[in-house]
Amino acid sequence: MRPNKRDELVRNALDVFYRDGFHATGMDKLVAETGISKTSMYKHFRTKEDLILAVLRLRDERFRNWFCRRVEEIAEAPKDRLLAVFDALEEWFKSPEFKGCMFIKAVSEFQNPEDPIHIQSATHKRMLLEFVQGIAAQARVTDPGTLARQLMLLKEGAIVTAVMQGEAKVAADAKAAARILIAAAARC
């Protein structure tokens, strides 16, 4: 197997897991969808869980790079960037590829907090929280940590609601609520 076959497998498996879920996707389905034999898969990944971890690393890299870059492209001033989080979400919600958050899905399927898949998913969310907290600190609000956690609650709620209702406009609703929280944090 060529060295890039592993990367191809991870990219293809990401699409299948994102679309169909982790537990619902067996190795036979991955073989059929990726065109890579079970033998070849097991050369690169000892278990399905190892493959899932590789998929989550790729998804984290792709999503965080896009999301952070997009927030910075949308707005320059830190307070505006806090709101741009929700503009970026709306773009994502409107994309035909949007099927919810892979990390929320992973945590719902791997609920044990000590499971490596759960841990990796929580790490993704923590890194996004740190990104937003950094922007909040640049905005010089009185308590950047609290504001960042509040904004992340809005972000996560918007993701779940967008999936459940199929409407991208929930990002605008979350942005309106964020505007109130940011104004309150700036006054303190």
Q: Which amino acid is residue 50, in one-letter code?
A: D
Specify the pLDDT at position 188. Answer: 60
The position carrying tokens 């009185």 is: 142
Instruction: For residue 75, count CB atoms less than 10 angstroms from its CB and return exposed for 0-12, middle for 13-18, buried for 19 or more.
Output: middle
pLDDT, position 40: 85
- For tokens 């609000």, what's the residue? 141
Q: Which residues of the chain have pLDDT under 70?
A: 1-3, 188
Look at the domain 57-187 and name its fold: Tetracycline Repressor; domain 2 (1.10.357)
CA separation for the pair 48, 19 (Å, rounded): 16
Angle between helix 102-109 and 48-74 (nearest 10): 150
Q: 16: closest CA among 119, 95, 105? A: 105
Question: What is the radius of gyration, based on Cα positions, of the chain?
Answer: 18
| Distances, alpha carbon 161 to alpha carbons 70, 158, 169, in Å | 22, 5, 10
16 contacts: CB under 8 Å, gap ≥ 6 = 25, 29, 30, 33, 34
* Residues 174/155, Cβ–Cβ less than 8 Å: yes
Residue 146, pLDDT score:
98
Q: What is the pLDDT of residue 4?
A: 82
pLDDT of amino acid 1: 42
Dist. CA 10–CA 131, nearest whole Å: 26
